[in-house]
Structure formats: structure tokens, C-alpha cells
Structure 1
Amino acid sequence: MLNLKKGYIVVFIISVIGLAFIQYQYLRIGLNLAKLQFNTKTGQALQTIKTDLGTKNELTFLMAQAINKDDSHFNLSLDSIQDATRYFLNDFLVDRFLQQGIKTDFVYRLHSEDSTIFLSPGYKQLEEEELKFPMLLNGYLPETVHKRLVLDIQFEDLSKYFLSQLNGLTIPSLLFIVAIIIVVIWVIRSMYWQKNVITTTNDFINNLTHELKTPVFSIGLATKLLEEKAGEDQQKLIGMIRDQNEKLKTHIDKVLELSGMETNKKILKLSPGDFYPPLEKLANTFAAFAILEDIEFKYSLEDTRYWLNCEDSHLSNAVGNLLDNAKKYSSKHQVIQLKAYTQEKFLYIVVEDNGIGIAKNELKNIFKKFHRIPSGDLQNVRGYGLGLSYVKQVIKLHKGNVSVDSQLGEGTIVTIKLPLLKNGK
């Protein structure tokens, strides 16, 4: 079980890493598509800018005056003309980029091919060539200033811009991965906490039951000694003590066996064998007991061989528990039936009674450890909620399953299904 849990944890870690890697690849693809789309839009915007700056208009006329340092057409100083040129050119570029859906910060520089700089607000030289978009101007502006002009557009931080375009994928992906990790870690912690609780409980029960075995043995020994010396009047009382002591011993053994099964201790040694003789012996014993208790008991064992991979004692005890429950939970004339038959490579063992039945909402809980089925007005029913849990564990370890069909006031049918060995081997 421990190795299986470790395997689950390893699979979970690999799955999370794999999911993160796949999301990373998707984001890379998305980022490349965003870059391609950006370059396409930027190219279209630059083409529009080049065309507009190639014609004579108010902006290009103002730019020509600023480049030539000619203030004869304006009642402004040369510095004011250059400031106005920077302002209107910046607004012009922003507008053309927005027309293409580009909303990110940029700076520009207007210079000649001989590197004479005319306008460069906030421009700085960067090593990343992918952030620079140089554009050779033609038309009215270079013809007017008699120089070959280049307009450099430089985007300051495209990485943040691209990531902002992918936030619809990035943020949900990270949130989902974090949510999965948190939930699975919580489940694993709960699983280990539950395991520790079960281990602690079983250790306590084992220690308690082992401590109880000593006084039970002492009571049994004392009863045997008293029985040898007691008179007839005392024999009945001693017999009651002996019977109750045996019941207590049986309950202690049952608790120990059930605890061992839950911790995967190899207390069952399965071997191929014929289960027909042990089952027939159990049926005959219960039939003799039924006569004494005024119980109508019928049994039918079809075929003559039940070849199973089993341990006779525990499997017989499991069936015996079902018969004992059928006897206990009855408030009228008791009718109990035991049937066994083979069908399609399986052995079916059916215990049916006409007792008080089980409510539908209780059927899902009847095999839980320490769960007690309400017994209505039956005050003589006692137990610890271990019998059916023991039956479930035994049948499970025999690779079989057990099912219950019951109606309140009509009785209960319990069916055990066990796999038969092929050819009795």
C-alpha cells in the first residue's frame, strides 16, 4: 500500500510537470503568433506613416521648417517650432499605430544618413534589433530639406506588451495549475492523516485486546477448575460464565483478525481446496443449533464440489457470521435459508432470513467497521459492529464480493460471490 501511494505521488508530480510543460509550449506558440501579428501590424502602420510623410501637409511643412531651422514663416522662436514639431509628430505616430491596434510605448528619432540628428525625444540606443524599425523617407520632406532622412521607431519593452496580449491564456493556466496542486496536496495530506489515525486506532485496539486475552485465559482456567469441584446447582452458573467467556474470547479474536486484515498482514494463507465439506459441516452444525433455538432452518448445497483458492476457517467464519446475524435480527418466527450453487465460474452462497430487514439508507454503511445497524425494539441484540466488516474483509481477500438486498419488515438476503478454480486447480 505504501509503494502504491508513492506511485500515486510520482504520477501526480510527473503529471503536473507535464501539464506545466504543455502550457509553456502553448504560451510559446501564442507568443510567437503575437510577435508575428505585431510585426505585420507594425509594417502596415509604418507604410501608412511613410506615405503620409511623403506628401506636403501641415505636419511635414512644420517638420521641414524645424529641420532647416527656418522660423521665417512663424511668429515663434526656433525652439518653440521644434517643440511643436515633436509634439505633433508624436501624436501623428500614436494615431497611426492605434489604427492598427498597437497600444504600447515607443520613441522615435529623425536623422539623416550621415547621422545628423534632428528630432530624438527620449530615444536611446538598444542592442535588441527586433525592437527597432528604421524607415527611409521619400517624397516632399527629403526633397525640401535636400537630405536623405531616416525615421527610427523604437519600442521600449515588447515583452510586457506581448505578455499582456496573452493574459487571457497565461493567468487562467497558472490559476488552474495552482488549484490542481493545492487540491491534490490537500488530498494527499488528508490521506496520510487518515492513515495515521487508522494506524493509531489499530495499535490501540491491538494493545487493548492483547491485554484482555490474559484475564480471559485466567477466567477460562478458573472456570474449568471450579467446574470439577462444583455441585449440580452450581454447574448451570459456571456454564453461563464459561459461555460468556468464550463469547468474549471470540470477539477479541475477531477484532485482532480484522485489524490484521486492514494493515495487510498475511493472516490468510489461501490454498486450493474443496469448500463443500466445510460449508456442509457449518450447515449441519447450525441446523442442530436451530432445533434447540426453535428456528426453522433450511439449506441447499447444489453440486458436490466447490473448488476455491481459500482458507476454510475464515471463509466458514464469514458465512457463520451471516447466519448468526440472520438469527439475531428477528422479531417473529424465524425462518433462515442457506443456499449454495455454482454458475458461470463462480460460487454463490446466499443467506436469507425473514427478520426485521435493513433500511435503504443503512445499506451503504453496514460493512463499515464499528457501525451498528439499528435493531428497532429488539433489546436483546448486542454487538460491536465488527461482524459484517469482518465478512467484507474476508470475502475481499478471497477475490470475491458480497452484496445485500433488504426490505424493512420483510427480511434480508446476503449473497457472497467467489471465483471458482479452473478444473479444480
Structure 2
Amino acid sequence: MNRNTIRLLILLGTLSISGIIAVQAYWVKRAFDLKEQQFRQTVMISLRNVANRISALYKLSNFDNPVSQLSSDYYVVNLRVPLEADVLEHYLKEEFRKQNLNTDFEYGIYDCDTEKIIYGAYITANFEENKSIAKSLPKTDKYINYFGVRFPSKTSFLASKLDIWLISSLITLIVTVFFGYAMFVILRQKRLSEVQRDFVNNMTHEFQTPISTIRIATDVLSQDKIMEQPERLKKYVQIIRQENNRLKIQVETVLNTARLERGKMQLEIQLQELHSLINEVTEGVQAELEDCLKLELKATKPSVYADRTQLVSLIRNLLENAIKYSSKPPCITIKTENIEDAIVFSVSDKGIGIPKESIDKIFKKFYRVPTGNLHNVKGFGLGLSYVNQIVKAHKWQIIVESEVGQGSTFKVIMKQEN
């Protein structure tokens, strides 16, 4: 699946999901508005019935329209006569039960003497009084004697009546999440596919170079005249040995990285002398780098508990990484120093450096720092990932300091306690 196809798929899917969400939101809003209108009508009918029952109690004529809505959840009702709170509460409960208005409400009666609304009570959805809640209700100049009723839980009450719509909204949400996850998986698989392709290409190139060199060397060694040229014979034998060792290291890196990630690598932790291992690794490249490699081994306590093979691999990979990403000739410094109960091993170079946005990614498997259209850096993209796995396996810490164009420093803080 090419990039344009994926983009088209994401675009069409996004438009489809957006359309479904928009339609769903529209109909949920319409359903809520309809329920709100029904709620208002029910409240108006219930309060009008209460007003007419009170009028009948005092032998007054019935009201045509005694109820006024002051806000979405607050209503006032004309009384014409003073009324006791207990009587009003009784009538309100009866009417609300009849109309199935099983939601919290609070009421108050206007007192002409004090010109204030005397708060009545807060009645819960099961029509029981909650005395712990007491609020003030707003006044109006529309009536002389009146009472007010507020429904503080109106929104939640109406939402509870939208069961089917809430279920359909939940299904829409699940579909949206599934779509997002599917797109994430598709993009992730595409990226992994590209990484795998690049890895195979890099691995093929890395293996072909030493194999071709070994084949050429063996062709030379197969000639009869080579026995008469011992120096030349020795040179080609050395080439085969070096290329064979290079192949061995590459294969071991791939296999050991996989083992460490699966947790199947058995570490043989023993006390190691770090300085001797550094000298061992750098011995093979000293002649190649000449004066470009500086060793500042200042640690007074250079011993550390580690797996020898993995520690050597860590040193070699950091050194090779510094060489690969340095200009020619490279300028590399290896340092050691003691801090408290640990030894700090660092490899510094004055190479191309690492962009800030890439520093958090360099330890990911197969990741290569982008270098534009240039592809002159060899490797699998496993070196730093392998180093990170070794550091984690030993419960150490690695720190990266880098600036583009100035170089990079990799510091490994190794605990000296077993």
C-alpha cells in the first residue's frame, strides 16, 4: 500500500467519521431539545394544577395562565392569597408524582411583609426533604403573591431520558476509537515495513562488502605464485581474518539485540577492569585513527561488575558510532572518572552532532538520524539500540549530550556495587 493510498484512506475515513459524529450530535441535540420542551410543558401543567387546587381550596376562580418561566429551570406561580409552606409542598409532591417528574426541586413563597422569598425546602427525586441544602430564590415583580419552584437537576434528569441516544453515541465513540486505532496500526505497520526494508538493504550491503573482500582475497590466495610472496600472503590472510571478524561482530550484534529484548540473554556478571577492556577495544583502531583518538582514563577505581562480552560490545559500539558520524579524520576522546559509588565512561566526538528532536529516538531499534539525501553512513541502526539494552540489563544509566555541527558525547554511568 503506497503513501498516497494511505493518505486517501485516512482522508475518506476521517470525513466519514466526522460526518457520522456531526449527524449523531445533531440528533442528540434535537432529542434533548424535545425532552426539554416536554419537561417544560409537564412542569407548566403541574404548576397550573397546583395553582387551581389552591384556588379551589380558597373558593377562588381558576387561573387561565398562572405560571411564568423566568429561566430554563425556574418557574413562578401566581397565588393571589398567602399560603403555608406545608400545604404548598403537599400539592407540589402530589402533582409531580402524577406527572412522573421524579427529579430534585426546591420551592419558596414570597412574603409581602418582608418583600423576600421565604425558602421552603429542597425535595429530592424520591420526594424526601433534604434539610442540608438551603438556597435563595430570585424574586419577580410580576405577581403580588406567588411561589417559585426551581429544578437544579433538570439537565441530568433530561439526560437520563435519552438512553437510546446515549447508547448510540457510545457506539459512535467506539467506532471512532476503533477507526483511530486502525489508522494507527496501519501507519505503524507501514513504518515498520519501511524500517524492515531499510534494515534488509543495509544488512545486505554490510554483509556483501566483507564477503566480496574475502572472495577476492581467497582468489588471490588460490594462485600458485602467492606462495613465493610471503609478505603478500600474510597481508591477504590478515584481510580475511579482519573481514571474518567484522562479519562475526555484525551477526553477534543482531542476535544479541534480539536476545536482550526477549530477556533471554544470560549475563555473567563478574568484576571487570574497565581500563584494560578499553585498551583492548581501541588497540585495533589505534593505527587507523593515529593521533585522532585520545584516552583520558582518570578513574582511580576502574573496576566494575559487568558481563565482559556485553561491556566490550558497549565500548566497541560507542566507539564505532563516534567514528561513523565524524568527519575525516575523526577526533574522538574516551574518558573515565569516578563519582561517588560509580564510574563514568564517556565517548566524545566532534562530528555532525544529533538534532534535539532525534536525541530521544536514537536508542530505538533501526532508527537512523536523518541526513537528507546522503546515505554515506554504514550500519544496521542497531548499535545504539544494543547499547541501550546492555545499559538496561546492567541497571546503569546513559546520558547523551549533543549539538548539531559540534559533536556528541555519550556517558554511561556504571554502578560499581554488585
The TM-score bracket by the shorter chain reads 0.5 to 0.7
State the alpha-carbon separation in 1 of the partners of residues 184 and 372 from structure 2: 36
2:350 corresponds to: 354
Q: Go from structure 1 to structure 2 and tell me whether the alpha carbon gap of 1:237 and 1:334 turns closer, same or farther (over 3 Å shift).
A: same
Deviation at 1:416, TM superposition (A): 1.1
In structure 2, runs of 5+ residues without a counterpart are 1-41, 75-90, 105-124, 126-152
Letter in 1 for 2:416: L
Q: AA paired with 1:53?
A: A
Report the counterpart of residue 158 of structure 1 in structure 2: 101
Is 1:133 the counterpart of 2:94? The answer is yes
Match of 2:408 among 400, 409, 412: 412
SS in 2 for 1:373: coil
Displacement, 1:413? Answer: 0.9
Question: Deviation per CA, 1:361-405, whole angstroms, max 9, x where unpaired?
Answer: 432332222222356899864222111111112112222232221
Identity %: 23
> Once the 2 structures are TM-superposed, how far is the Cα of residue 323 of structure 1 from its aligned partner?
1.0
1:402/1:180 CA distance change after superposition, 3 Å: farther
Matches within 5 A, 1:254-269: 254-262=253-261, 264-267=262-265, 269=266
Calculate the TM-score normalised by the size of structure 1.
0.52
| Letter in structure 1 aligned against 2:407 | G
| CA distance in structure 2 between the aligned counterparts of 1:332 and 1:293, rounded to whole angstroms | 10
Q: 1:394 aligns with which of 386, 390, 394?
A: 390
Matches within 5 A, 1:52-71: 52-57=55-60, 59=61
Q: Which moved more, 1:232-241 or 1:379-388?
A: 232-241
CA–CA distance in structure 2, aligned partners of residues 155 and 358 of structure 1: 75
Higher-Rg structure is 1
Match of 1:49 among 44, 47, 52: 52
Distance, in Å, in 2 between the alignment partners of 1:188 and 1:419 is 41
Across the two proteins, how many residue pairs are aligned to each other?
Answer: 303
Structure 1 residues 101 and 337: CA distance shift in structure 2, 3 A: closer
Larger mean CA deviation between 170-179 and 393-402 belongs to 170-179
Alignment of 1:266-345 (within 5 A): 266-267=264-265, 269-277=266-274, 279-287=275-283, 289-294=285-290, 295-308=292-305, 310-345=306-341
- TM-score of the superposition, structure 2-length normalised? 0.53
**CA RMSD of superposed structures (Å):** 5.5
Comparing 187-196 and 398-407, the one that deviates more: 187-196
Q: Give the helix-richer structure, 1 or 2.
A: 1
Q: Residue 372 of structure 1 aligns with which residue?
A: 368
The amino acid that maps onto 1:306 is S
Equivalent runs, 1:153-192 vs 2, <5 Å? 155-158=98-101, 165-167=155-157
Tell me, in whole angstroms, the C-alpha distance in 2 between the residues paired with 1:353 and 1:370: 22
Partner of 1:115: none
Question: Displacement of 1:169 after TM fit?
Answer: 6.2
Supply the distance in 2 between the matched residues of 1:334 and 1:227 (Cα, whole angstroms).
34
C-alpha distance in structure 2 between counterparts of 1:235 and 1:401, whole Å: 43
Is 2:214–2:239's contact at 8 Å kept on the other side of the alignment? no
For 2:379 and 2:287, how far apart are their aligned partners in 1?
24
Structure 1 distance, partners of 2:247, 2:235, is 19
Q: CA deviation at 1:174?
A: 6.0
8 Å Cα contact 2:331/2:350 also seen in 1:
yes
What stretches of structure 1 of length at least 5 have no aligned partner?
Answer: 1-37, 60-88, 104-129, 135-152
After superposition, what is the alpha-carbon deviation per residue over 1:304-325, rounded to whole angstroms, capped at 9, x for unaligned?
A: 34333x3221122012111112
Instruction: Say if 2:250 is the partner of 1:251.
Output: yes
